Amino acid sequence: MLNLSTTVELSNGTHIPLLGLGVYKVDSGEEVYQTVQSALDLGYRHIDTASFYGNETGVGQAVKDSRIPREELFITTKVWNDEQGYEETLQAFERSLARLQMDYVDLYLIHWPVPGKFIDTWRALETLYQNGRVRAIGVSNFLEYHLDDLLLHAEITPMVNQVEFHPQLYLEDLLDYCKKNNIQLEAWSPLARAQYLHHPLLHELGEKYGKSAAQIILRWDVQHGVVTIPKSTKPPRQKENAEIFDFELSREEMEAINALHCNGRVGSDPAQLK
């Protein structure tokens, strides 16, 4: 039976919790501190931040004050676009570690595929991984052609690719590509910033299973084998997001949700990055 403790094994044997908490646009200081603390109290063990979010310090303090053994937690951070390059990334990683008050992170990601930079940035991530500073390395917002380019130069295949992924942006080809290359797909903005939670299909399924539209979407992610990190600063909503393991969508229902795809992005398109 899947639950909040369920993990997925990455290609190097590291286990990542299937459901986590994202903290994008959560204010640094007290808001992110309370957000992370409430999630940890509810049983979350996977927290996703980034240097760009400006809240690594609050995340780190909440983790430290929780007194949960570090090895029971899975912490992700990312290197931002203006920090990319080989030496620049190594320095950015040390800054992130200092803010987090940690000796290592569980997953370090390239935040965006900056043209002319991400190959050298990946070399830095490989160095950090080989030196035992991170338990796993990966990328974010990489499309198939970005991954093709990276794999031509990489010694280590990325273990994770974190992208915008939800029913109106059902990236089936990218999901298949990642599965074939043993790269774990992870969804950011899995609820599309609540832009279509009113959709009739989601409400119909919600009524059938006694769930919210958001829970239907998160369950859809999980059944696709996609790691997902919904954001909420409110404990009741964090609890709701975690209560997706006591029902299962049928194959026909999964296909109906898949059909909502309309290339409906709520974030930037990686193909447009300059």
Over the stretch 61-74, which tens digit does the pLDDT of each residue have?
A: 999 999 999 999 99
pLDDT for the residue numbered 274: 79
- 160-183 confidence digits (pLDDT tens): 999 999 999 999 999 999 999 999
CATH class of the domain comprising 7-195+225-235: alpha beta
The tokens describing 87, both together, are 């030496």
Rg (CA), the chain: 18
The pTM for the full model equals 0.97
Stretches where the chain sits below pLDDT 50 are none
- 92-111 confidence digits (pLDDT tens): 999 999 999 999 999 999 99
pLDDT for the residue numbered 2: 83
Buried/exposed 20-48: b ≥16 CB within 10 Å, e otherwise: bbbbeebebeeebbebbbbbbeeebbbbb
Where are the chain's structural domains? 7-195+225-235
Active-site positions? 53
